[in-house]
Structures are given as structure tokens and as C-alpha cells.
Amino acid sequence: MRLTVNGNVIESDAATVQALVQTITEARRGVAVAVNGEVVPRSTWGLTALADGDAVEVLTAAQGG
Amino acid sequence: MDFLDKSRLILGTGGANSLAALEEAIVASGTALVTVALRRVDAAGPGLLPMLDRLGVPVLPNTAGCYTAGDAVKTAHLARDAFETDLVKLEVIGDERTLLPDGVELLRAAETLVGDGFRVLPYTSDDPILARRLADVGCVAVMPAGSPIGSGLGISNPHHIRLIRQSVDVPVVLDAGIGTASDAALAMELGCDAVLIASAITRASAPAEMASAMRHAVVAGRLAFTAGRIPRRFHAVASTSDLGIAQW
């Protein structure tokens, strides 16, 4: 299926948010995810299915005041 | 607030040239709380959180880059999920040139986030009335700007900072505008409970040295405030008594 991840259109077979995050970053702490503008709490990543056309933001800590 | 027990200097991590320079500055500053932003993983790069973990310094996530209450609320929720803290430095910016807060959106976002269980530290303007409104909706501190972010112009309106200190019962953190150590000392002498400094340290020629200068300035300013300064007088008051003076 086709996903937009952090602004880039990719082909992915990640069935869940959890599976997608594992392909994006090795970090297990300090990561947050929104799908189609809605926050997906970490506790539900493994249960949250992704669908063709979803827009996913995978975010972490950056330097900032 | 508990984090003010260890240090009255909150360090903003934006603007550092490298993680190594930032680490040196954090250590030299003696800070017990540092801000972080939330950005896409590909842009953020690795290493910041592991370094902060190693130093044992907790994070204060910010909502930098948000221009509406809705965006700021969403960012705060993402930050809470990522960093497992209910603290948030709430920024809702009003315009790109000044980076000053949008008070209307800020108050709206603050009220929502307090209701959602956050401990909200809003970056606000030096308006005593807005500061009071923010405290009234349950913010755990207020953080007035001394002058625009990154400007290094110091405290434009010291009287308003003093008024804010008298207007609210929560800690006042002078945020934004500090350029050098005397600005930080002045903030503390005006009665602020802490200062938040980023650019003045991270963009100094020698960040770790400036961090040390700020650390001392904050301690000195706080002590000067609690010690009770002498009143200003128009004319001199001799410090040496005339009692026992020789007669010729």
C-alpha cells in the first residue's frame, strides 16, 4: 500500500503503526506518532492498522528552545 | 516547582552547533531541566535523548513552531506520549518576525491542556493581565518574554516583569531575550523564580563559558533579591561614621 510518511510517499507492507515505526527508526523511546492528524498513543501502536493512503508523522526529540 | 530546587536556570537546547557543544553547556550551566522540540525523526537526528539520559537531565517538551491553539494542543499530546512527562512549555507564536506569543490562542490552548492533565508552562508576553489569566486557568508557571526570542535585547520592560511577579502566585520564569549574564541577574533581581536561556548560551562564541556565567548570574541575582537591596537615594549617604573623627 502507499503511505505518506513524514511527507514522503512510500510503498509499505507494514500492517500496523508498530511495524511501520520499526522500519523508520531504531529508537524505542522518545517517539510519537500521528496518523491522519490524530495522535496514536504508543500503547495502541500494535493494534492500530494502517490503510492505503494514510498520512503518518513519526516524531522525536530535536534541539529546540 | 520541584525542578527549581536544584537549579533556577532552565536551558533551551536550540541553536547549538553540535551535540558535544550542547552537552558541555548543559554540564556547565548546572541546569536541572532542558527544553526539547518535537520534529520528524529524519530531520531530528539521533543522539539528543540518549545524551540527556546519560546526564540525568529531564526534558521540558515545547510546542515551538505552532501558530494555533489546535496545533499546540496536538503537539503537546504527542510530546507527552513520546517523553512520558506531563510538563509542557506551551508556545503559540503570533508572527514570524517577532516570534511573540498570540495571547488569545495561548490562553485557549493553556486551558485545554490543563484540562487534559498537563502541567503547563506558557511562554507569554510581558503583559501582567495575560499572565494572571494564564495562572487563573491553572498554569503551573508563567514565562514572560524579556524581549523577542533570540534577540539578545535583554528585558525591555523590567517594570512589567515586576508587576507580573506581583500578579500571580505561581513561579515566574523569564523566557526569551536574555543576551548576557547581567540580563539573567536582572531577571532574578526583579523577583523572577527562574530564567530560561537558549540562544544566549548556545550561540555564544564559547557556549560552556557562557553557561557558567549564566549559572553564576542566576545565583547572584537570586541572592541579591532575597538579601534585600538598599533603597536608591538621590544623594550620597556616608558609609563611614563621623563619630571619633580627629579634630585639627
pTM for this model (two decimals): 0.92
- Interface residues from chain B to A (CB-CB < 8 Å): 12-16, 22, 35-46, 48-49, 59, 61-62, 64, 74, 77-79, 81-83, 149, 196, 198-199
Nearest CB to A61 within list B44, B64, B81: B44
Cell of B90: 506551551
A32 touches chain B (CB under 8 A): yes
Rounded CA separation B39/A25 (Å):
13
Helix, strand and coil percent figures for chain B, each rounded to 5:
45, 15, 40
Nearest CB to B14 within list A26, A42, A63: A63
Position B228 scores a pLDDT of 93
pLDDT in tens, chain A (65 residues): 999 999 999 999 999 999 999 999 887 789 999 999 999 999 999 999 999 999 999 999 999 98
Q: What residue spans of B12-169 are helical by DSSP H?
A: 19-29, 41-44, 48-55, 69-83, 103-115, 128-136, 158-167
| DSSP one-letter code for B242 | -
Nearest CB to B37 within list A39, A58, A63: A63
A13 touches chain B (CB under 8 A): no
A28 touches chain B (CB under 8 A): no
Complex-level ipTM = 0.93
Collect all residues of chain B within an 8 Å Cβ-Cβ radius of residue A57. Answer: 40
Picking from A6, A31, A37, the residue whose alpha carbon sits closest to that of residue A18 is: A31
Tell me, rounded to whole angstroms, the distance of Cα B78 from its chain centroid. Answer: 22
Cell of B204: 555564544
Residue B32: left if φ>0, alpha if ψ -120 to 50, beta else—which one? alpha
Lowest-pLDDT choice from B66-70, B143-147, B243-247: B243-247
Whether B74 is catalytic is no
Residues B197-215: pLDDT tens digits?
A: 999 999 999 999 999 999 9
Rounded CA separation B208/B190 (Å):
26
Position B43 scores a pLDDT of 85
Q: With beta carbons less than 8 A apart as the criterion, state whether B83 and A64 touch.
A: no
Residues 6+ apart with CB under 8 A from A51: A1
10 Å CB burial of residue A8 (0-12, 13-18, 19+) is: exposed
CB contact under 8 A, B39 and A24: no
Interface test with A, best of B40, B68, B86, B99 (most A CBs within 10 A): B40
Q: With beta carbons less than 8 A apart as the criterion, state whether B121 and B106 touch.
A: no
Q: What is the mean pLDDT of residues B72-99?
A: 96
